[in-house]
Amino acid sequence: MMNMKTLLALLICAGSAAAAPITYQGTLEDNGQPANGLYDMRFSLADAPTIGLLLQFIDISNVEVVDGLFEVEIDFDDSWFDGSDRWLAVRVEGTNLNPRTKINYAPYAIRATRAQQANLAFDLSAPWVSVDTGVIISATSTGAIPITGRSSNTTGTNPGVYGRTDSGSSNAAGVFGEVTDTTPGGFSAGVRGVNNGTGFNGVGLYGSHAGFGYGVYGTVPGGVAVFGSTNNGFGLWGQSTTNIGAYARTTSGDAALQAEHADEDTEAFLATDEYGVEAYNNVSDGAGTAIFGSGGRTGIYGESVNSGFGPSLTRTGVQGFAGGFSSGADTFYGVNGFAQNPASGGSRTAYGVYGGAQVGNSANTAYGVYGETFGTGGTKFAGYFQGNVHVAGTLSKSSGSFKIDHPLDPENQYLSHSFVESPDMMNIYNGVITLDADGHAIVQLPDYFEALNRDFRYQLTAMGAPMPNLYIASEISANQFAIAGGAPNARVSWEITGVRQDPSALAHPIIVEEPKPEHHKGKFLDPEAYGFDDDRAIHPRPKQN
């Protein structure tokens, strides 16, 4: 605790046009002991013993105090000494010392009593002036600044100007600024904040709210409510530790949020009538990306809400479209997915594109992936796979073939063969074997043959000459069968078929004939082959949004 008392002061002459500086001598105690060292002091001229107005203050740095004694000269403006009572308030190292000392005019000198415990340097609970109605201070200027406030401390949190209101009414304001001209110049402002810091710290204009209101609120009838601009940073930045970083909403048909790049070729709209996010990148070189997402788990996530009902409604989580009849590009991707496993770290799985769908009842149809091509002419693949393809389930098709470059003219022709079709899940095994001197032979089959197959069928064909007595001497046992009745040392072509009996085949048997369910009756898997349009298709083309 600091205490102070006055030893001597130079007199102020009453009514003097040029009052002399006040020579202030005093003692300073720090925690009950005479102070020693250099101290920063502020001497303020007030119009009341407590509260009131501070008319002027003078800061004096590095006041030397020796054994508690110090002396300073304080030169207040002469205009303040008009015969009204004045008091001297003293602050040492940011601490207010009480009580204030009254300045008496000649023939009395400044007198001071022993200081009591210092108040806080910045006490917002005790304003300088308290009035019920009217204006406390009214200042008007045609050229200079009418009112200026400054806190000269290089540390601490004292504001230059502090405004406060105890009103709970709508539109109450602690500080209110206004531009009265109806056609003001550019960047004129009702309230303006400037921070001259050149680093990353500090805020030009700071607003806060203790509850769930707005830290900063802007409103205009037709312009920009909040505008942010930067040369090398974020024009507008929002952050939340538990909720939404930035929120935009509109009650009209316009976008809730519009972002536009300076080149005017790139812009994005948030929450339009048609899209949640609408983005464009129309840069002239054609290399722009409309939306780019990067995330620790999901780069871009799209979801379509489940509201509404009706056969004509469609819902699309993510839709991609690329190209156009007038585009100059060579390659187009409606949706392009790529996934990459790390080079190390154990067994990982990557999906370039993953599609999943779920049915809700027996009348529903779900497609994990649905592919289709349009147009006439050209080469069209609803699905094309460069690499191995596996189907965990039953594969069904209208027709099938292999298609390769023709072995006799690979540069100019294709060669296609149809698949072998069967109502059974049939496996075929064949080969050529040479009989022994007795016209016998044993054909050895793979070790898995009997585990995989059942219902065996045999066919033998003599080669080189007829063998009318050729026959199956013993049927398959221990994955082998025997041939007999052939010519000595002759060659025989053999073929064995079997029907699959493995767990996967038993779990997914082929139902050769089955009635169509009610919701499929009158419709076709291939309506075009029967002369119908897509409206008679069991698997119609997806409706385009």
pLDDT for residue 120: 32
Beta bridge partners of 281: 266
Minimum mean pLDDT range among 5-9, 381-385, 434-438, 493-497: 5-9
| Residue 68 in tokens | 């508690």
For residue 119, give the nearest of 148, 153, 90, 162 by alpha carbon.
90
Q: Where are the domains of the chain?
A: 2-119, 426-507
pLDDT for residue 317: 76
- CA dihedral for 113, 114, 116, 120, sign (positive or negative): positive
pLDDT for residue 8: 36
For residue 229, give the nearest of 260, 200, 208 by alpha carbon.
260
pLDDT for residue 308: 65
Q: Where on the phi/psi map is residue 213: left (φ > 0), alpha (ψ -120 to 50), or beta?
A: beta
Q: Which CATH topology does 2-119 take?
A: Immunoglobulin-like (2.60.40)
- The Cα–Cα gap between 457 and 498 comes to 7
> Residues 530, 537: contact at Cβ < 8 Å?
no
β 54-65/37-46 pair status: antiparallel
> Residues 228, 203: contact at Cβ < 8 Å?
no
Q: pLDDT (tens digit, 9 = 90+) per residue, 307-346?
A: 666 666 777 777 777 777 777 777 777 788 888 888 887 7
Give the mean model confidence (pLDDT) for residues 165-177.
84
- The Cα–Cα gap between 354 and 368 comes to 8
**Single pTM value for the model:** 0.50
Q: pLDDT (tens digit, 9 = 90+) per residue, 229-261?
A: 777 777 777 877 777 777 777 776 677 677 776
pLDDT for residue 124: 41
Give the mean model confidence (pLDDT) for residues 184-194.
84
- The Cα–Cα gap between 244 and 58 comes to 48
- The Cα–Cα gap between 470 and 491 comes to 11
- The Cα–Cα gap between 136 and 512 comes to 98
Residue type, 430: N
- The Cα–Cα gap between 520 and 511 comes to 17
- The Cα–Cα gap between 380 and 373 comes to 6
> Residues 164, 174: contact at Cβ < 8 Å?
yes
